[in-house]
């Protein structure tokens, strides 16, 4: 439906002329040139904010392609970069002229350098490492130059492999100590034997890595280049080659078995970008956004190092059949290393649905509703959707005479725009909720047209830095109407764009499959005129969190579209609170004087400083001491994990018989209620909720 609004067409006669013109050129596959040309025209004519294909665009593509191929600067020499740099401002001309000479130069040189690197790692791992030498390794490639000579390159490889072996050695020595503690008759292996074992394990890991690299085809590398072009438009616009497009279609149509996490590539590392509600990783409680996965083991097998591995290959090792175990060696956001065991499973749909709890606070009754996503399923005949579930949950809470509702949207990554609009309508009379804009078009104001108000009492919405997309639309509407107090992190994620997936085979008459393009076609705007893009929603009451100082949102992504404004919609503020501003100010004073929030802020600053430290030690004793120091420093914040409130949480009346009849559900609810009791953010949100007072009569004030 969105695609019909695109104001561009690529006629078959145009593509035919491209094909015939390509036949006169040599060395390159005509299909690749057709793909590039189609993408250029689709992107320029269909993207919400098309880029000029100019020198500045060329530099972005150039830098990104080299970073994708060699993120740790362990393949290319400075002489290679000097040679490549002649094309730094010419890629735009090559795109316009169907010229792939830059790609082929870099691709062929990369193939040469990766072949040469096979010799480096095998020779290095054939010799004993000296873990007593005082050496360091810089992990941030931006702080490193490209190596000038092959000797410099070999030295980089030596340090990186030594670091890999060192982390394994630390784990093995730790295991030996544990065995001795469990059995005093156990004879610990000598360091020299362990050193040999870790080199052998590292060699196996590297052989596996290069086996995967060798499996990559020319098409895989060309797709990498093409994505450097598409993502120069914005980070959510990407090319799917035929195989990836097939996987995408399958993931949209069915359930994927695995750990239930969305992963992202960060330099050489695989980072957790999102935990899927109801998934095994989410349920384990041991992983969080920002953690880096270093190694993957299948059950009790030897772990495989995935540092430097392509993301799609790393995912292949992490995902797997339901019921199987995967052990992840993870670098936590505080710098500590932890092995996390997860039993793979299918995401439990029930955990993505609305659920509520009754809270007793100072003799008064309140309700908390958790909404993990804005869900809807058009494929099911009697589909559940978050709107009807939310309305039903509100009615159930009203029967229990709750005085206010806390809606928890933390970690809610979004979902259906339609349900976000409809759920907003449950709390207001009627009126505009969001503005949706196509390129070169006036904003389309999306309204709630139902005058019914499901809940007219006090409302507080709890968000964090991972509340995104539809969550931000809802929170923004509630804030603009002054219908709810928004409490949480400094700002939400900031994704205010909409993507659509196009089948590129509609735009050519080749017999070959060209794949698809996920392209940004729309932008969201609040009813006050501001975009949710980049800025997200700034909380009325800002709470410090672990993510306060980290690069976690849309604003930290390369080439993200900017914040802008459109004219405000015509809406009337919900002016039915007696003490809206007072309740907010009282909360700010409590937070300022709360020792736990002060400690959370200190912890967040420490986490940021730990994350910024990119120099690691290659001397075993220094490395060990550094890890132990980090563990000891983290103990300063142990008090945060021990915090508990004096509030009481129970299931609503309707759920009591279900809990009694279903042991699994009972355990889930008990765990949720325990976590709520220990949740200082929920406690402060409830403090605000308990203070909010409704006026005796509704009075609407024009915006």
pLDDT in tens, 445-472: 999 999 999 999 999 999 999 999 999 9
Per-residue pLDDT band at 348 (split at 50, 70, 90) = low
CA 636 vs. chain centroid, Å, equals 28
Per-residue pLDDT at 247: 56
**Nearest partner of 641 among 679, 606, 672, judged by Cα:** 679
Catalytic-role residue among 31, 283, 355, 495:
495
Is the pLDDT at 317 greater than 90? The verdict is no
Please state which CATH number belongs to domain 353-436+446-493+531-702: 3.90.226.10
Please state whether beta strands 405-408 and 459-462 pair in parallel, antiparallel, or not at all (unpaired): parallel
Task: Taking residues 307-311, report their average pLDDT.
Answer: 78
Is the pLDDT at 661 greater than 60? The verdict is yes
Per-residue pLDDT at 103: 97
Is the pLDDT at 248 greater than 70? The verdict is no
Please indicate whether residue 97 or residue 4 has the higher confidence score (pLDDT): 97
| Dist CA 584 CA 487 (whole Å) | 9
| Dist CA 39 CA 36 (whole Å) | 5
Catalytic-role residue among 72, 469, 587, 651:
469
Is the pLDDT at 222 greater than 70? The verdict is yes
Per-residue pLDDT at 306: 84
Is the pLDDT at 400 greater than 80? The verdict is yes
Helix (H, G, I), strand (E, B), or coil: what is residue 317? helix
CATH number for the 256-346 domain, one of 3.20.20.120, 3.30.70.20, 2.30.42.10, 2.70.180.20? 2.30.42.10
Q: What does the mean pLDDT of the chain come to?
A: 88
| Dist CA 468 CA 538 (whole Å) | 12
Is the pLDDT at 251 greater than 50? The verdict is no
Angle between helices 150-182 and 101-124 (to 10 degrees): 50
Lowest-confidence pick of 344-358, 375-389, 675-689: 375-389
Q: What angle do CA 154, 264, 531 make, to 5 degrees?
A: 130
Q: Which parts of 257-354 fold into alpha helices (H)?
A: 280-284, 311-318
219 is catalytic: no
Task: Taking residues 486-500, report their average pLDDT.
Answer: 95
Catalytic-role residue among 32, 480, 540, 679:
480
Is the pLDDT at 395 greater than 90? The verdict is yes
Task: Taking residues 172-195, report their average pLDDT.
Answer: 92
Exposure b/e, 455-466, CB count within 10 A at least 16 = b: bebbbbbbbbbb
Between the CA of residue 31 and those of 37, 510, 513, 605, 682, what are the distances in Å? 10, 8, 9, 51, 56
Identify the sign of the CA torsion 135, 140, 146, 150: positive
Per-residue pLDDT at 383: 67
Contact 404, 583 (CB under 8 A): no
284 is catalytic: no
Lowest-confidence pick of 65-79, 267-281, 577-591: 267-281
* % of the chain surpassing 90 pLDDT: 67
> Residue 266: in which H helix or E strand, if any?
strand 261-266
| Dist CA 287 CA 414 (whole Å) | 21
| Dist CA 371 CA 277 (whole Å) | 10
Task: Taking residues 277-298, report their average pLDDT.
Answer: 84
| Dist CA 376 CA 423 (whole Å) | 12
Contact 301, 579 (CB under 8 A): no
Please state whether beta strands 364-370 and 405-408 pair in parallel, antiparallel, or not at all (unpaired): parallel
Give the 3-state secondary structure of 140-180: CHHHCCCCCCHHHHHHHHHHHHHHHHHHHHHHHHHHHHHHH
Per-residue pLDDT at 412: 93
Contact 629, 145 (CB under 8 A): no
CA 82 vs. chain centroid, Å, equals 35
Task: Taking residues 268-292, report their average pLDDT.
Answer: 82
Is the pLDDT at 378 greater than 60? The verdict is no
Is the pLDDT at 23 greater than 50? The verdict is no
Identify the sign of the CA torsion 426, 377, 255, 265: negative
Please indicate whether residue 60 or residue 267 has the higher confidence score (pLDDT): 60
* % of the chain surpassing 70 pLDDT: 91
Per-residue pLDDT band at 126 (split at 50, 70, 90) = very high
Per-residue pLDDT at 137: 95
Contact 115, 196 (CB under 8 A): no
When mean pLDDT is compared over 247-256, 341-350, 532-541, the highest value belongs to 532-541
Identify the sign of the CA torsion 36, 37, 39, 40: positive
Task: Taking residues 421-438, report their average pLDDT.
Answer: 96
Would you tell me how many other CB atoms lie within 10 Å of the CB of residue 320? 16
Per-residue pLDDT at 347: 67
Task: Taking residues 391-415, report their average pLDDT.
Answer: 96
> Residue 586: in which H helix or E strand, if any?
helix 580-593
Polymer length of the chain: 703
Lowest-confidence pick of 75-79, 184-188, 334-338, 490-494: 334-338
The 10s digit of each residue's pLDDT in 554-607 is: 999 999 999 999 999 999 999 999 999 999 999 999 999 999 999 999 999 998
Contact 234, 561 (CB under 8 A): yes
CA 314 vs. chain centroid, Å, equals 16
For the chain, the structural domain boundaries read 51-232, 256-346, 353-436+446-493+531-702
408 is catalytic: no
Per-residue pLDDT at 700: 44
Output the pTM of the full model: 0.86
Is the pLDDT at 542 greater than 60? The verdict is yes
Per-residue pLDDT band at 697 (split at 50, 70, 90) = low
Helix (H, G, I), strand (E, B), or coil: what is residue 242? helix
**Nearest partner of 309 among 207, 411, 408, judged by Cα:** 207
Per-residue pLDDT at 253: 35
| Dist CA 475 CA 463 (whole Å) | 8
Lowest-confidence pick of 22-36, 212-226, 611-625: 22-36
Is the pLDDT at 319 greater than 80? The verdict is yes
Per-residue pLDDT at 320: 82
Please indicate whether residue 693 or residue 304 has the higher confidence score (pLDDT): 693
Q: What are phi and psi of 349, to 5 degrees?
A: -60, -35
Would you tell me how many other CB atoms lie within 10 Å of the CB of residue 366? 24
């Amino acid at each position: 439906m969105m695609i019909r609004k695109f104001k561009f067409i690529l006629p078959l006669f145009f593509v035919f002329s491209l094909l015939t013109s390509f036949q006169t050129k040599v060395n390159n596959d005509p299909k690749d040139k057709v793909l590039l040309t189609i993408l250029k025209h689709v992107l320029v004519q269909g993207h919400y904010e098309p880029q000029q294909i100019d020198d500045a665009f060329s530099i972005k593509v150039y830098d990104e392609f080299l970073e994708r191929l060699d993120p740790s600067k362990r393949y290319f020499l400075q002489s290679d970069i000097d040679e490549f740099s002649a094309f730094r401002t010419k890629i735009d001309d090559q795109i316009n002229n169907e010229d792939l000479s830059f790609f082929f130069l870099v691709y062929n040189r990369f193939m040469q350098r990766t072949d040469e690197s096979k010799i480096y790692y095998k020779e290095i791992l054939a010799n004993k490492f000296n873990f007593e030498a005082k050496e360091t390794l810089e992990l941030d490639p931006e702080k490193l130059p490209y190596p000038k000579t092959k000797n410099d390159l070999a030295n980089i490889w030596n340090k990186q492999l030594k670091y890999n072996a060192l982390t394994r050695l630390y784990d093995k020595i730790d295991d030996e100590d544990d065995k001795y503690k469990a059995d005093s008759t156990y004879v610990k292996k000598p360091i020299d034997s362990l050193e040999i074992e870790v080199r052998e394990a590292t060699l196996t890991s590297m052989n596996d890595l290069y086996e995967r690299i060798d499996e990559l085809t020319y098409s895989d590398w060309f797709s990498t280049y093409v994505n450097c072009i598409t993502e120069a438009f914005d980070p959510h616009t990407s090319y799917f080659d035929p195989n990836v497009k097939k996987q995408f279609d399958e993931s949209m149509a069915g359930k994927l078995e695995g750990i239930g996490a969305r992963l992202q590539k960060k330099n050489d590392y695989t980072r957790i970008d999102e935990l899927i509600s109801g998934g095994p990783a989410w349920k384990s409680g041991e992983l969080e956004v920002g953690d880096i996965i270093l190694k993957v083991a299948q059950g009790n097998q030897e772990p495989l190092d995935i540092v430097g591995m392509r993301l799609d290959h790393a995912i292949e090792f992490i995902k797997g059949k339901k019921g199987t175990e995967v052990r992840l060696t993870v670098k936590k956001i505080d710098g500590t290393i932890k092995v996390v065991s997860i039993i793979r499973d299918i995401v439990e749909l029930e955990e993505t649905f609305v659920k509520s709890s009754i809270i007793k606070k100072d003799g008064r009754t309140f309700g908390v509703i958790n909404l993990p996503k804005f869900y809807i399923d058009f494929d099911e005949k009697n589909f559940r959707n978050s709107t009807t579930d939310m309305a039903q949950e509100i009615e159930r809470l009203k029967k229990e005479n709750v005085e206010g509702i806390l809606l928890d949207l933390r970690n809610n990554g979004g979902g259906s725009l339609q349900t976000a609009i409809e759920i907003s309508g449950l709390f207001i009379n009627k009126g505009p909720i969001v503005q949706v804009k196509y390129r070169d078009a006036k904003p389309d104001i999306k309204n709630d047209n139902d005058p019914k108000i499901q809940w007219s009492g006090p409302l507080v919405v709890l968000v964090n830095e991972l509340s995104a997309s539809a969550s931000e639309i809802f929170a923004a509407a509630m804030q603009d109407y002054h219908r709810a107090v928004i409490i949480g992190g400094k700002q939400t994620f900031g994704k205010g764009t909409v993507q659509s997936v196009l089948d590129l085979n509609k735009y050519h008459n080749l017999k070959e499959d060209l794949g698809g393009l996920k392209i940004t076609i729309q932008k969201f705007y609040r009813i006050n005129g501001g975009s949710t893009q980049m800025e997200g929603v700034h909380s009325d009451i800002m709470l410090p969190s672990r993510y306060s100082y980290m690069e976690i949102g849309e604003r930290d992504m390369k080439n993200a579209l900017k914040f802008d404004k459109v004219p405000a919609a015509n809406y009337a503020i919900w002016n039915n609170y007696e003490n809206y501003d007072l309740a907010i100010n009282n909360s700010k004073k409590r937070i300022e004087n709360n020792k736990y929030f002060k400690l959370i802020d200190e912890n967040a600053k420490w986490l940021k400083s730990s994350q910024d430290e990119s120099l690691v030690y290659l001397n075993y004793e220094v490395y060990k001491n550094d890890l132990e120091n980090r563990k000891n420093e983290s103990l300063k914040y142990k008090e945060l994990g021990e915090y508990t409130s004096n509030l009481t949480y129970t299931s609503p009346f309707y759920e009591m018989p279900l809990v009694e009849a279903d042991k699994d559900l009972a355990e889930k609810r008990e765990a949720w209620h325990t976590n709520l009791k220990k949740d200082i953010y929920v406690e402060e949100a409830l403090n605000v909720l308990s203070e909010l007072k409704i006026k005796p009569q509704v009075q609407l004030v024009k915006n």
